[in-house]
Amino acid sequence: MVKGIAAACKEAGCALIGGETAQMPGFYTDGEYDLAGFIVGAVDRDKLVTGAGIKAGDVLIGLPSTGLHTNGYSLARKLLFEVGGYKPTQYVTAIKEKAGAALMRTHRSYLHVIQKLVAGGLTAGMAHITGGGITENLPRILPKGVTAQIEIGSWPVLPIFEHLRELGNVPQEEMMRTFNMGIGLIAAIPAAKFTRAKNLLDRAEEKFYLIGRVVKGERRVQYT
């Protein structure tokens, strides 16, 4: 655990500066340990990427997720363990791994790819796809007068999400609002800069998908 945390800090270029370990007898059983943390960052006001410059015609690219990341676990656990009847250590053919391993996949870091896009002045806004999925997170960066058109099928949906959908017969609308569906971060790229952004990401061997465009409309996500 400690080695993993140290490696993550080194990769992100940040420091783990300490804290405290609270003793709470009766709260944790023998052998249990709870670890919690947070990150504090700072940015110069003139370097903020707020999404205010997003306009109709911008291209939306999606960066793949590694799994559930940090959202939708209540529904995922219910579907896998109650509806599906799987054990955490049970191999699930539909997702090609053990149920517990699928839920515990590490949330990937987008730091380096974000740094590249921002340093190149190639993105007008970015949305981290967390709780609420694309449906609720993407509109938060949209200025008035525009809509995000997202093309369903323009990226590969991870097997874990397809299996959860089948287990619970979950409607598409709820899937898109609960899970990231294989897209962990969306960046709005001005159309004139898309080729530069593509070349930059290709050189960095960063996988991405062209998942939609910004059009005139209300501040919302429209699926096509």
Looking at the structure, give the CATH architecture of the domain made up of residues 45-223: Alpha-Beta Complex (3.90)
How far apart are alpha carbons 176 and 49 in whole angstroms? 25
The percent of residues in the chain predicted with pLDDT above 70, rounded, is 95
Least confident stretch, 3-12, 45-54, 107-116, 189-198: 3-12
Enter the pTM of the model: 0.85
Residue 203: count of CB within 10 angstroms of its CB: 9
Least confident stretch, 33-37, 84-88, 89-93, 150-154: 33-37
Residue 175: count of CB within 10 angstroms of its CB: 20
Residues 31, 32, 38: CA angle, nearest 5 degrees: 145
Q: 3-state SS string over the chain?
A: CHHHHHHHHHHHCCCCCCCCCCCCECCECCCCCCCCCCCCCCCCHHHCCCCCCCCCCCEEEEEECCCCCCCCHHHHHHHHHHHCCCCCCCEECCCCEEHHHHHCCCCCCCHHHHHHHHHCCCCCEEEECCCCHHHHHHHHHCCCCEEEEECCCCCCCCHHHHHHHHHHCCCHHHHHHHCCCCEEEEEEECHHHHHHHHHHHHHCCCCCEEEEEEEECCCCEEEC
Residue ranges per structural domain of the chain? 45-223
How far apart are alpha carbons 65 and 177 in whole angstroms? 16
Residue 29 pLDDT: 75
Over 80: is that where the pLDDT of 32 sits?
Answer: no
For residues 50-77, average pLDDT: 93
Residue 203 pLDDT: 93
Over 70: is that where the pLDDT of 152 sits?
Answer: yes
Over 90: is that where the pLDDT of 117 sits?
Answer: yes
How far apart are alpha carbons 74 and 31 in whole angstroms? 24
For residues 81-94, average pLDDT: 94
At residue 43 the predicted structure's pLDDT band, cuts being 50, 70 and 90, is: confident
Rounded to the nearest angstrom, the gap between the alpha carbon of residue 6 and the centroid of all alpha carbons in its chain is: 22
Over 80: is that where the pLDDT of 179 sits?
Answer: yes
The rounded mean pLDDT for the chain is 90
Residue 30 pLDDT: 76
> What does the pLDDT look like over 161-178, one tens digit per residue?
999 999 999 999 999 999
At residue 71 the predicted structure's pLDDT band, cuts being 50, 70 and 90, is: confident
Beta bridge partners of 59: 189, 213
Residues 6+ apart with CB under 8 A from 178: 71, 72, 75, 133, 170
Over 70: is that where the pLDDT of 23 sits?
Answer: no
Residue 3 pLDDT: 66
Residue 21 pLDDT: 63
